[in-house]
Amino acid sequence: MASFGERLKTFRLQKELSQADLARALDVSQTTIASYERGDRRPRQNLMVKIAQYFSVSPNELLGYEKSQENYAIEGLLTVPVFDYLPYETSLKDTDYITRYAYLPDDGQYNVEKLFFFITPDNAMEGYSRIQYGDTLIVHGKEEIKDGDIAVLHINESEAVIRRVYNQANSDNLLLIPDNAYYNPLSLPTSEVKIRGKVVQVIFSPK
pLDDT digits (tens, 9 = 90+) for 6-61: 999 999 999 999 999 999 999 999 999 999 999 888 887 678 878 988 988 877 67
Ramachandran region, residue 79 (left: φ > 0; alpha: ψ -120 to 50; beta: rest): beta
Measured CA angle at 183 (ends 177, 186), to 5 deg: 45
If asked whether residues 144 and 194 sit together in one domain, one would say yes
If asked whether residues 84 and 166 sit together in one domain, one would say yes
d(CA 20, CA 32): 10
If asked whether residues 171 and 138 sit together in one domain, one would say yes
What values do phi and psi take at 30, rounded to 5?
-65, -35
**pLDDT for residue 103:** 84
Which residues share a beta bridge with 116? 139
**pLDDT for residue 60:** 67
| 65 belongs to a structural domain | no
If asked whether residues 93 and 129 sit together in one domain, one would say yes
If asked whether residues 180 and 88 sit together in one domain, one would say yes
**pLDDT for residue 66:** 56
Range of the domain at 145: 76-207
Report yes or no: 74 and 63 within 8 Å, Cβ to Cβ. Answer: no
Sequential DSSP letters for 32-75: HHHHHHHTS----HHHHHHHHHHHTS-HHHHTTPPP-TTTT--T
**pLDDT for residue 71:** 46
- Per the structure, the count of domains in the chain is 2
For the domain that residue 16 is a member of, what is the CATH number?
A: 1.10.260.40
| 67 belongs to a structural domain | no
Residues of the chain under the 70 pLDDT cut: 1, 45, 60, 65-75, 206-207
Express as a percent the part of the chain with pLDDT over 90: 51
**pLDDT for residue 69:** 54
For the domain that residue 126 is a member of, what is the CATH number?
A: 2.10.109.10
pTM of the model: 0.67
d(CA 154, CA 47): 35
If asked whether residues 202 and 112 sit together in one domain, one would say yes
In the chain, the amino acid numbered 19 is Q
| 71 belongs to a structural domain | no
| 177 belongs to a structural domain | yes
Please state whether beta strands 77-83 and 115-119 pair in parallel, antiparallel, or not at all (unpaired): parallel
If asked whether residues 192 and 146 sit together in one domain, one would say yes
Report yes or no: 200 and 138 within 8 Å, Cβ to Cβ. Answer: yes
If asked whether residues 175 and 127 sit together in one domain, one would say yes
Average pLDDT of every residue of the chain: 87
**pLDDT for residue 195:** 96
